């Protein structure tokens, strides 16, 4: 393992830290209480500055207009960006666009590249990924009710999707649909690009999540596709490769989330320590003098460090041996880091007392928004089963 931080990366991290302090954290009080749509002028202003500093799209190859960082370098930058819910978005590496850039980068035809990929990389448009359905278990994406039938040179898409994050205001959706119902279970579905202004694309609602429906980028859409017709050329990748492409998309998506979660952990941990040190609880004592708080601090520190090393190791392994070789590590970090993050957020809220559950700090936002981390991109339980099965299958004989 090689985790030494190069001089180039140190400079990048310093620039990012300074930018976050000066431009991003001051936006948070507005972002937490205002409709998200109202934030775009500020976000776009910040994005222009980021582009001028050549810090735009860390994960995107240089030939497409990004920084072309290695995954380990991106992980280090993501730790800084993840500290604010706006970080990834302002620097052009936000889900679900990053995942769609990944698969479009691999499979887009020249026309799809011009119309969807390049404007997406530049941040001129947004996208969503439409796979999960209320009627079928999302943890097994071979089961889908949405169909796409080829009729007169057009795909006719019909189906019911939900949790298509950021569908509100997106220019297009990448829709996973059954195109070949008689094929084997892993070859029945395909990916189809559906512009959101296509007749038959109906955004039913932004789903209320823990009391907040959100809006615009910051939302999860329920969508009805009703005889939604798009040209046959909107097929993304080979027909019948929907399941494979979904897996290719989710792999990097998982590590990008985990990298971001380390940033959330660090931010909440620092807030917890600061509050514990400042909050007086009588007789000149602060919360930091209490053993039970000291235990939370020590445990959080150990858990965050373990998570961070696991994430960097997974990033390093993907880089040196490929995603397939690192699939166990990716599952490990997905089910390990999410609960660590939630525990750290929860402890930080507890230390803040009543203030912790108000929207006067960012903690309650993290608490609301990140509970889903243990569910999306594969629930904890599925990743645990996958890892355990493989380990038990490969048990070495007794020596």
Ligand X SMILES: Cc1cc2nc3c(=O)[nH]c(=O)nc-3n(C[C@H](O)[C@H](O)[C@H](O)COP(=O)(O)OP(=O)(O)OC[C@H]3O[C@@H](n4cnc5c(N)ncnc54)[C@H](O)[C@@H]3O)c2cc1C
- Residues 383/387/389/393 CA torsion (nearest 10 deg): 160
Which residue lies nearer to ligand X by CB, 206 or 300? 206
Site string for ligand X, 195-234 (x = CB under 6 A): -------------------------x--------------
**Based on C-alpha coordinates, what's the Rg of the chain?**
22
Find the binding residues for ligand X in span 139-168 (CB under 6 A). 139, 163-165
Site string for ligand X, 77-96 (x = CB under 6 A): -------------------x
Residue 376 interacting with ligand X (CB under 6 A)? yes
Using alpha carbons, select from 122, 36, 48, 123 the residue that is nearest to residue 86.
36
CA distance 116 to 22: 32
Residue 54 interacting with ligand X (CB under 6 A)? no
Q: Is the distance from CB of 210 to CB of 365 less than 8 angstroms?
A: no
Residue 129 interacting with ligand X (CB under 6 A)? yes
Quote the least distance from Cβ 83 to ligand X, whole Å: 19
The interaxial angle of helices 242-278 and 71-81, nearest 10 deg, is: 40
Q: Which stretch binds ligand X (CB under 6 A): 222-230, 267-275, 284-292, 370-378?
A: 370-378
Which residue lies nearer to ligand X by CB, 195 or 372? 372
Residue 33 interacting with ligand X (CB under 6 A)? no
User: 3-state class of 326 per DSSP?
Assistant: coil
* Helix/strand/coil (H/E/C) assignment for every residue in 110-174: HHHHHHHHHHHHCCCCCEEEECCCCCCCCCCCCCCCCEEEEECCEEEEEEEEEEEECCCCCCEEE
Q: Is the distance from CB of 224 to CB of 158 less than 8 angstroms?
A: no
Task: Please give the size of the binding site for ligand X, defined by CB under 6 A.
Answer: 19
Which residue lies nearer to ligand X by CB, 131 or 236? 131
Quote the least distance from Cβ 154 to ligand X, whole Å: 23
Find the binding residues for ligand X in span 295-324 (CB under 6 A). none
Residue 137 interacting with ligand X (CB under 6 A)? yes
**Residues for the chain: how many in total?**
399
CA distance 231 to 151: 10
Residue 242 interacting with ligand X (CB under 6 A)? no
Q: Which stretch binds ligand X (CB under 6 A): 10-18, 43-51, 197-205, 381-389?
A: 381-389
CA distance 375 to 138: 10
Which residue lies nearer to ligand X by CB, 275 or 383? 383
Quote the least distance from Cβ 220 to ligand X, whole Å: 5
The structure tokens 């514990």 sit at: 276
The structure tokens 């500093």 sit at: 53
Quote the least distance from Cβ 98 to ligand X, whole Å: 12
Which residue lies nearer to ligand X by CB, 19 or 225? 225
Q: Is the peptide bond before 51 cis (omega within 30 degrees of 0)?
A: no
Q: Which stretch binds ligand X (CB under 6 A): 3-11, 77-85, 129-137, 352-360?
A: 129-137
Using alpha carbons, select from 374, 368, 321 the residue that is nearest to residue 212.
368
Which residue lies nearer to ligand X by CB, 5 or 137? 137
Residue from 105, 119, 240, 372 in contact with ligand X (CB under 6 A): 372
User: Which residues make up the interface to ligand X (CB under 6 A)?
Assistant: 96, 129-132, 137-139, 163-165, 220, 372, 375-376, 379, 381-382, 385
């Amino acid at each position: 393992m090689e985790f030494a931080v190069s001089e180039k990366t140190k400079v990048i991290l310093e620039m990012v830290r300074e930018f976050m302090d000066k431009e991003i954290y001051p936006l948070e009080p507005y972002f937490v209480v205002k409709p998200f749509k109202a934030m775009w002028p500020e976000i776009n202003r910040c994005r222009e500055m980021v582009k001028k500093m050549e810090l735009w799209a860390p994960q995107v190859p240089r030939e497409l207009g990004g920084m072309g960082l290695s995954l380990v370098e991106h992980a280090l930058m993501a730790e800084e960006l993840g500290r604010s819910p706006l970080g990834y978005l302002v620097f052009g590496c936000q889900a679900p666009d990053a995942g769609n850039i990944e698969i479009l980068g691999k499979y887009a035809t020249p026309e799809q590249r011009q119309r969807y990929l390049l404007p997406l990389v530049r941040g001129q448009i947004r996208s969503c990924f439409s796979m999960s359905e209320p009627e079928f278990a999302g943890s097994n994406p071979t089961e889908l009710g949405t169909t796409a039938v080829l009729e007169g040179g057009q795909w006719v898409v019909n189906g019911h999707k939900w949790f298509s994050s950021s569908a509100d205001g997106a220019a297009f959706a990448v829709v996973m649909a059954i195109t070949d119902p008689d094929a084997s279970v892993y070859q029945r579905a395909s990916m189809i690009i559906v512009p959101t202004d296509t007749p038959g694309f109906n955004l039913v609602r932004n789903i209320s999540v823990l009391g907040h429906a959100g809006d615009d980028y910051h939302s999860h859409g329920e969508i009805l596709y009703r005889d939604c017709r798009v040209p046959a050329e909107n097929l993304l990748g080979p027909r019948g490769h929907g399941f494979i492409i979904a897996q290719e998309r989710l792999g990097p998506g998982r590590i990008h989330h985990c990298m971001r979660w380390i940033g959330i952990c660090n931010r909440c941990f620092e807030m917890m320590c600061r509050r514990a040190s400042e909050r007086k609880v009588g007789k000149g004592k602060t919360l930091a003098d209490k053993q039970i708080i000291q235990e939370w601090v020590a445990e959080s520190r150990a858990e965050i460090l373990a998570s961070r090393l696991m994430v960097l190791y997974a990033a390093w392994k993907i880089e040196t041996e490929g995603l397939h070789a690192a699939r166990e590590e990716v599952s490990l970090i997905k089910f390990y880091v999410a609960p660590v993050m939630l525990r750290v957020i929860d402890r930080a809220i507890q230390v803040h007392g009543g203030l912790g559950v108000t929207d006067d700090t960012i903690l309650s936002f993290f608490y609301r928004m990140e509970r889903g981390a243990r569910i999306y991109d594969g629930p904890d339980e599925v990743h645990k089963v996958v890892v355990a099965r493989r380990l038990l299958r490969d048990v070495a004989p007794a020596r």
